[in-house]
């Protein structure tokens, strides 16, 4: 993953939930998953020990950067204070800490959330390595997204940087990645429908709903890629 420039050691302690800043600026996910909050609450009530919340101390203000679902579960159970790991950070460092933390969770990010992680990655300078800009395959290793997707996002979200990176790539081995040939006209409608299904799946955060979509999609895929028709022996 991309790295933060902060080297400050984190301090473990107790923090008051009511005083903890939970700003949308530091939350990559578009909304909390209710089933995840409920699952955490049940686990906490049963005695499970949760990891401490991750908190950034920015200009004297405690900002939650990792643990939004856990914080909501604690509040639902009536907790006033919880364990937290606090690290002093700049605003940019805190923004990247929040974005990076969400990429490590078991709860999948939607495509929209992945793109917000990418934007935060660029805004906070994670694409820089010393005095040079990282290439797309290096960014791919950081964000775990295809370099072609990252290149398309860069072109749309950061056109000036995209042009600069294109100039960088002119002298790099292999040059720019080839763009795939467009599909036949008759295939564009069905392919667009498949893309809509993929995006809808990526925007679904509920684990049970994602599993239902996967199972139905697998049924359709097996039906489409099957033989369809087989010639049999005839007695005539």
Q: How many whole angstroms separate alpha carbon 121 and alpha carbon 109?
A: 15
E-strand stretches of 6-149: 11-16, 53-58, 61-66, 81-88, 128-129, 132-133
Using pLDDT thresholds of 50, 70 and 90, give the confidence band for residue 50: very high
Torsion, Cα 25 74 108 100, to 10 degrees, reads: 50
**Percent of the chain's residues with pLDDT above 70:** 81
Q: How is residue 28 annotated by DSSP?
A: -
The distance of Cα 221 from the centroid of its chain, to the nearest Å, equals: 26
pLDDT given at position 174: 41
For residue 226, pLDDT beyond 70:
no
Per-residue model confidence as pLDDT tens digits over 163-174: 888 887 765 544
- Helix %, strand %, coil % of the chain (to 5): 50, 15, 35
List the domains of the chain with CATH numbers: 10-106 (3.90.1530.10), 108-173+200-221 (no CATH)
**pLDDT bucket at 41, cuts 50 / 70 / 90:** very high
Classify each residue of 53-69 as buried b or exposed e, where b means 16 or more C-beta atoms within 10 Å of its C-beta: bbbbbbeeebbbbbbbb
The mean pLDDT value of the chain amounts to 81
More confident residue, 188 or 133: 133
- Pairing assessment for the beta strands 132-133 and 61-66 based on DSSP bridges: unpaired
Cβ neighbourhood burial of 166 (10 Å; 0-12, 13-18, 19+): middle
Task: Report the interhelical angle of 207-225 vs 185-202 (nearest 10°).
Answer: 160
């Amino acid at each position: 993953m991309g790295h933060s420039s902060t080297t400050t050691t984190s301090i473990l302690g107790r923090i008051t939930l009511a005083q903890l800043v939970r700003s949308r600026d530091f939350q990559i996910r578009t909304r909390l998953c209710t089933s995840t909050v409920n699952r955490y609450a049940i686990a906490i009530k049963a005695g499970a020990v949760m990891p401490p919340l991750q908190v950034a101390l920015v200009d004297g203000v405690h900002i939650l950067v990792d643990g939004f679902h856990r914080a909501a579960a604690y509040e639902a159970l009536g907790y006033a204070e919880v364990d937290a790991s606090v690290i002093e950070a700049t605003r940019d460092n805190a923004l990247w800490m929040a974005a990076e933390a969400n990429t490590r969770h078991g709860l999948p990010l939607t495509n929209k959330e992945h793109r917000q992680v990418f934007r935060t990655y660029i805004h906070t300078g994670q694409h820089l390595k010393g005095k040079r800009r990282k290439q797309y395959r290096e960014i791919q290793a950081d964000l775990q997204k295809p370099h072609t997707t990252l290149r398309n996002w860069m072109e749309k979200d950061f056109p000036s940087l995209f042009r600069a990176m294109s100039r960088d790539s002119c002298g790099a081995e292999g040059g720019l990645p080839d763009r795939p040939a467009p599909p036949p006209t008759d295939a564009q409608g069905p392919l667009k429908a498949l893309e809509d299904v993929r995006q809808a799946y990526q925007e679904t955060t509920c684990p049970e709903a994602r599993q239902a979509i996967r199972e139905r999609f697998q049924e359709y895929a097996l039906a489409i890629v099957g033989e369809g028709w087989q010639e049999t022996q005839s007695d005539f």
